[in-house]
Structure 1
């Protein structure tokens, strides 16, 4: 039953001409903003002396690490050698392929 529900969901949130916005992209943006907000509130409460720019620099680094790590682990563990013969396809993130454990690392 849950599998049927999962396959009924449309991954596209909305599309305007050639631009397509997916739900997971919205989740990345909202999650990054919320993480930055929580980090700023925690550093202010613990009096760590970080500025807003410092916190957003940490969030930006974490987001880049998440995207690069997620894609890299997908290419290594789920690529089945395809990316050895098509190395430029590694950068084609618009075709999907992110790994949770890579983003976590």
Structure 2
């Protein structure tokens, strides 16, 4: 029985082992897509405010810059997660016509 977080080993025509992508848990995928960017933006704005106060400067500018850095980091994280995961082919598919 395969576990969801183990990497699959795929055999090609020459019987060489090829590392496949990890099977993705939908709960983890939803967290990465929706919750992680919000946390990254809030954390970036908070750290920006802390840096702005430490420099005795306008914390609003540093909050905006920190939020933008959080958005960029979240985008990169989502892109890396997307490349490292795959959709489970055995999962039940829901079509709009069935609803």
Q: Which category of TM-score, normalised to the shorter sequence, fits these structures? A: 0.3 to 0.5
Larger Rg: 2
Structure in which a larger fraction of residues adopt helix: 1
**What TM-score results when the alignment is normalised by the length of structure 1?**
0.40
- Return the structure number with greater strand share: 2
Query: RCO greater where, 1 or 2, for CA within 8 Å and sep 6 or more?
Result: 2
Q: TM-score, normalised by structure 2?
A: 0.41
